[in-house]
């Protein structure tokens, strides 16, 4: 939906967007314009020159050709697989150039894309049928061959031209209908084709029990089921046999698979001579390229391609097909090849030149559009009940209803994507964003535009890296003593958090505070010297300090005391998904330190490091500026209180007086154990049965706002580092993941991030390692990751070397270097020994010991 610079179209669509958002929020039928389906569409046969005619010889395919005629089968209903002949109604023999009239109602399943014919349209081909509708197959899913394409009937064009004039061309697409109805038009208003009322009402239908949360669940379900492609070829696997590259950097995050994983935060990075970098695609037979698209990012600086040439052919006999100069301001996709007419077995993308005479290159994604591709959109079969087990709110809803609701959501996202650049402000944390976006945050998961906008906002707000790196002297032995018994040091001055905070204060009035908005390539914010531990900090010590600070703020073990006063444990210890979570301490007034926590969170979002904070969703939502509710969000803080107040509201007077008597007063406990008055001077006033609902309202208000000031300080710090626009484009779950990393550490993910030096992945000691890690719990793997890399969350690269013993078997403990993310793996006699030694090292080997003096420069 291209808007151009027409303000009437932009404003009209924004008004329409607001109307749609209100319909979603209040469970009302969506506007008819968004659900528009034309009453009539004409189709004709389109031959696919890249496939032989035998590919469509079956009567069950789109069409088969005999003596200048095309046979098109009409079915009782769309089938998920090869249709049964019992469902066949009759065959249409279409002569060359003949148009077939159908309704605009489409249906896509695993077999292909179908369109419906009504009774009148069926009668044109066979009279006397006792059926109200029939279905024809437009094209098979992900297959080549002939297909039906929509066209404008020549007879209809002539007839309408005689009636309305030769410029008559009614709007038949829903996007056009939105503009016709909602935008200001100078002159006569555009005509809209007649709509299919039945199909429109199907799309507008809202089940009686449907809620906005159901729409959010549907978005998450759809998001979880798209883009789940082959690990190596990703979204291009149906067109490409294999993908090869000229070279790869040593960083496991920079492999060729990163170009097809659908994640623009990852990239392939070369490691070779300047101008000698290439990507070679071996295409599947019959694939004819219509578009070859690369995803690039100007934030990659000298790694960004400046000039790209594409060659194609067979074997080594390749000819130049295109030569593209890339705009240096580009963030997003660039088409490097289009409109090929024949199949080419090999496509080679050559990076001729990088920006600023850069040596190596980064490519963040490859996409292909081919004549084999069928843009079928959603698949109705994905909404079958067995797939919905993780979404109980959706389970009882008919799959047809879910499919059509998802279709409408997809249209809404298309509308939103076209408007996003107009709704999001430039970098200035004092500005707000289009206010309605906060109501549809979860819908943004399906947006195709926001990733590039987020990248651009972060780039525009970036500052240059500091002139010097602060050097901090940290005594971790004193910090560990404080962690074991915080009461010995009420000031917490020995905690790593406080040592780092004090160490970063400017030493004189001319020295500037760190602003944390430096480029993502600046991945070490300060240098650590750990007293009584030998270390040359090349990143490992810094990452260790962040991990120590995270552990002090939110101890991972419920049995450990909380060594800092800034966060306090919730009441849900050891129960449910929200167990072992922390909220800002309502009684702590050190707002400058809360603001610094927010700045560190912003720095983690912008960079590659993590600050692992176990905060419940209610805190993340408030940091984002989102609304929170008692029933949805507060159970993560105190589920017992939520249930108690629910029971209190519904109980009878006798039960109320029996349970509470005269002991219930207008006070409540906060998360830190403090007692607060719910109404001034009423701390000793007994709550009467008649006033219980007012008491419940006051408790809910007090608890929801208990950490308001502390969260506001954290948010202020976060907004000093990250533009408000970025927070407006992220969901709270995404913010948590970007700040804290991925809490799920699978063996498969670790394998993808691991590289071997002087070892083969097939060696016995390596197999023992993976067997041991498979037996680890998620917490064990997190500890192992920190032992090797200094990080406790993914992604984090791992390099494995043999230890100094070489091939000799041993039961020595493994060694690691967090600065280089290296594990020196001994040759253990069994997987069990390997598991025991790794687990012991992960939990007990924290200090960094070498033979050098800890004070040596």
Residues with active-site annotation: 819
Say how far apart CA 805 and CA 823 lie, in whole Å: 14
Sign of CA dihedral 131, 379, 290, 177: positive
- Residue 224: which H helix or E strand, with range? helix 212-224
Contacts of 511 (CB under 8 A, 6+ apart): none
Contacts of 123 (CB under 8 A, 6+ apart): 129
Say how far apart CA 278 and CA 560 lie, in whole Å: 53
Say how far apart CA 539 and CA 530 lie, in whole Å: 13
**Terminal Cα-to-Cα distance of the chain (whole angstroms):** 60
CB 773 within 8 A of CB 644: no
810-816: long-range contacts (C-beta < 8 A, 24 or more apart)? 811/837, 812/837, 813/837, 813/840, 813/841, 813/845, 814/838, 814/841, 816/787, 816/788, 816/841, 816/845
Contacts of 396 (CB under 8 A, 6+ apart): 209
Say how far apart CA 496 and CA 479 lie, in whole Å: 6
Determine phi and psi for 359, rounding to 5 degrees.
-90, -50
Say how far apart CA 501 and CA 669 lie, in whole Å: 31
- Residue 281: which H helix or E strand, with range? strand 277-283
Rounded alpha-carbon distances, angstroms, from residue 184 to 9, 10, 172, 178, 416: 7, 10, 19, 11, 19
Nearest of 710, 485, 684, 488 to residue 594 by alpha carbon: 710
Contacts of 357 (CB under 8 A, 6+ apart): 274, 302
Q: 236 exposed, middle or buried (CB, 10 Å; 0-12, 13-18, 19+)?
A: buried
Paired sense of beta strands 362-363 and 268-269, if any: antiparallel
Say how far apart CA 237 and CA 365 lie, in whole Å: 13
Q: SS3 of 461, please?
A: coil
Compute, in degrees rounded to 10, the torsion defined by CA atoms 43, 45, 46, 50.
150
Say how far apart CA 138 and CA 140 lie, in whole Å: 7
Determine phi and psi for 151, rounding to 5 degrees.
-140, 170
CB 384 within 8 A of CB 326: no
């Amino acid at each position: 939906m291209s808007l151009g610079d027409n303000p009437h179209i932009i404003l009209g669509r924004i008004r329409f967007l607001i109307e749609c958002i209100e319909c979603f929020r209040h469970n009302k039928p969506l506007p008819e314009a968004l659900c528009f389906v034309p009453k009539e569409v004409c189709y004709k046969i389109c031959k696919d020159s890249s496939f032989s005619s035998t590919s469509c010889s079956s009567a069950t395919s789109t069409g088969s050709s005999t003596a200048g005629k095309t046979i098109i089968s009409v079915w009782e209903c769309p089938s998920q697989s090869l249709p049964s002949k019992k469902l066949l109604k009759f065959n249409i023999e279409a002569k060359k150039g003949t148009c077939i009239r159908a309704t605009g109602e489409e249906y896509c399943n695993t077999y292909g894309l179908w369109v419906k014919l009504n009774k009148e349209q069926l009668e044109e081909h066979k009279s006397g049928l006792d059926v109200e509708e029939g279905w024809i197959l437009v094209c098979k899913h992900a297959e080549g061959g002939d297909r039906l394409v929509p066209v404008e009937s020549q007879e209809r064009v002539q007839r309408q031209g005689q009636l309305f004039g030769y410029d008559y061309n009614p709007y038949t697409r829903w996007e056009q209908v939105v503009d016709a109805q909602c935008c200001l038009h100078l002159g006569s208003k555009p005509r809209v084709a007649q709509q299919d009322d039945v199909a429109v009402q199907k799309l507008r239908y809202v089940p009686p029990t449907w809620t906005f949360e159901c729409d959010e669940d549907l978005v998450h379900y759809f998001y979880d089921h798209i883009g789940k492609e082959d690990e190596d070829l990703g979204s291009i696997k149906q067109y490409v046999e294999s993908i090869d590259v000229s070279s790869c950097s040593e960083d496991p995050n920079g492999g060729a698979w990163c170009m097809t994983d659908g994640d623009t935060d990852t990239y392939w990075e070369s490691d070779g001579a300047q101008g000698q970098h290439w990507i070679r695609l071996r295409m599947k037979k019959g694939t004819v390229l219509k578009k070859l698209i690369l995803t690039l990012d100007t934030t990659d600086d000298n790694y960004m391609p400046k000039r790209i040439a594409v060659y194609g052919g067979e074997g080594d006999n390749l000819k130049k097909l295109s030569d593209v100069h890339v705009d240096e301001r580009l963030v997003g996709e660039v088409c490097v090849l289009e409109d090929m007419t024949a199949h080419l077995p090999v496509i080679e993308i050559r990076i001729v030149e990088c920006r600023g005479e850069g040596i190596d290159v980064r490519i963040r994604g490859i996409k292909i559009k081919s004549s084999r591709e069928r843009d079928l959109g959603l698949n109705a079969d994905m909404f079958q009940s067995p797939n919905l087990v993780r979404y109980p709110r959706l389970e009882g809803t008919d799959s047809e209803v879910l499919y059509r609701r998802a279709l409408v959501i997809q249209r809404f996202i298309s509308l939103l994507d076209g408007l996003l650049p107009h709704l999001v402000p430039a970098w200035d944390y004092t500005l707000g964003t289009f206010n309605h976006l906060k109501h549809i945050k979860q819908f943004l998961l399906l947006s195709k535009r926001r990733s590039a906008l987020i990248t651009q906002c972060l780039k525009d707000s970036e500052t240059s890296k500091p002139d010097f790196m602060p050097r901090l002297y940290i005594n971790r032995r004193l910090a560990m003593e404080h962690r074991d018994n915080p009461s010995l040091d009420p000031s917490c001055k020995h905690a790593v958090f406080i040592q780092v905070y004090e160490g970063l204060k400017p030493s004189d009035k001319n020295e500037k505070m760190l602003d944390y908005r430096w480029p993502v390539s600046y991945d070490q914010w300060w240098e650590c010297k750990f007293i009584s531990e030998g270390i040359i900090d090349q990143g490992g010590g810094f990452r260790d300090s962040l991990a120590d600070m995270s552990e002090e703020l939110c101890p991972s073990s419920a049995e450990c005391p909380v060594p800092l006063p800034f966060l306090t444990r919730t009441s849900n210890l050891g129960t449910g998904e929200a167990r072992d979570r922390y909220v800002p301490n309502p009684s702590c007034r050190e707002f400058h330190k809360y603001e610094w926590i927010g700045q560190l969170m912003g720095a983690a979002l912008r960079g590659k490091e993590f600050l692992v904070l176990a905060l419940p969703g209610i805190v993340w939502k408030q940091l984002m500026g989102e609304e929170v509710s008692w029933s949805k969000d507060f159970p993560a803080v105190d589920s017992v209180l939520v249930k108690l107040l629910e029971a209190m509201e519904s109980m009878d007077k006798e039960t109320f007086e029996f349970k509470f008597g005269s002991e219930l007063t207008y006070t409540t406990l906060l998360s830190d154990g403090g007692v607060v008055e719910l109404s001034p001077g009423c701390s000793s006033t007994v709550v009467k049965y008649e006033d219980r609902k007012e008491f419940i309202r006051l408790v809910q208000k007090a608890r929801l706002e208990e950490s308001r000031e502390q969260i506001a300080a954290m948010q202020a710090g976060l907004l000093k580092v990250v533009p408000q626009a970025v927070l407006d484009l992220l969901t709270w779950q995404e913010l948590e993941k970007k700040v804290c990393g991925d809490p799920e550490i699978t063996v498969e993910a670790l394998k993808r991030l691991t590289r071997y030096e002087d070892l083969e992945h097939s060696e016995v000691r390596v197999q023992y390692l993976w067997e041991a890690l498979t037996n680890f719990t998620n917490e064990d793997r997190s500890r192992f990751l920190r032992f090797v890399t200094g990080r406790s969350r993914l992604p984090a690269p791992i390099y494995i070397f043999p230890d100094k013993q070489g091939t000799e078997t041993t039961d020595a403990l493994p060694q690691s270097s967090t600065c280089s993310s290296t594990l020196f793996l001994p040759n253990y006699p069994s997987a069990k020994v390997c598991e025991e030694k790794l687990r012991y090292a992960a939990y007990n080997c924290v200090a960094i010991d070498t033979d050098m003096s800890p004070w040596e420069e």
